[in-house]
Amino acid sequence: MSISPNVVKHRAAVIRSRRETLNGHRSVNLWFTGLSGSGKSTLAHAVEERLHLMGCRTYVFDGDNVRHGLCGDLGFGLEERSENMRRIAEMVKLFLDGGVISLTAFISPLHADRQRVQEIIGAEDLIEVYCNCPLEICEERDVKGLYKKARRGEIKNYTGISSPYEAPSNPDIEIDTGHKTLRECVKRIVDELKERDIIF
């Protein structure tokens, strides 16, 4: 990605470490990936609620919500999905600098795009959470009816049906969201944050 000409990055006096000290926790990104219906958004918001009750500063970037504004001009082809991920990763960097724990819930189906996200954010600041849920369970949860439309050919480039999903080979956290309870899934993630000394 090229940098705009004649632009010099400003170095602020209030830096990330000072914001983290004020917040009482480190900033990090939890990147939730998985098929539609795997529970990414539900889990991300449940984790945020838990962290909020613990006094943490948090923000959830939800796939549908982001496409109402920041990425509202993008479609769902592979190139546009890749650009969607790039924009989100750049936003996450700003939230990291702000001392915030960000939670991003996106299908992010391709290895290459997730690798690019990690390069932008930084491996030390990203925890990849793979919501591993069988396709048949995701389809059972299809409250929007999108899988049915994709099966009928009414939606093109639908992940898991007409577009590929490449499961993470080595995620930081893998959760069986098809069979584990929401409470169990939330605990697994919060415990990981404690183990990494992100929250205390």
Cα distances (angstroms) measured from residue 130 to each of 89, 90, 141, 178, 189: 17, 21, 18, 12, 11
Residue 102 designated active-site: no
Q: Pick the catalytic residue: 36, 38, 102, 108? A: 108
Residues contacting residue 187 through CB under 8 Å, at least 6 positions apart: none
Instruction: Retrieve residue 183's tokens.
Output: 């409470």
Nearest-angstrom CA–CA distance, 117 and 95 = 14
The closest of 121, 115, 112, 45 to 87, measured between CA atoms, is: 121
Residues designated catalytic: 108
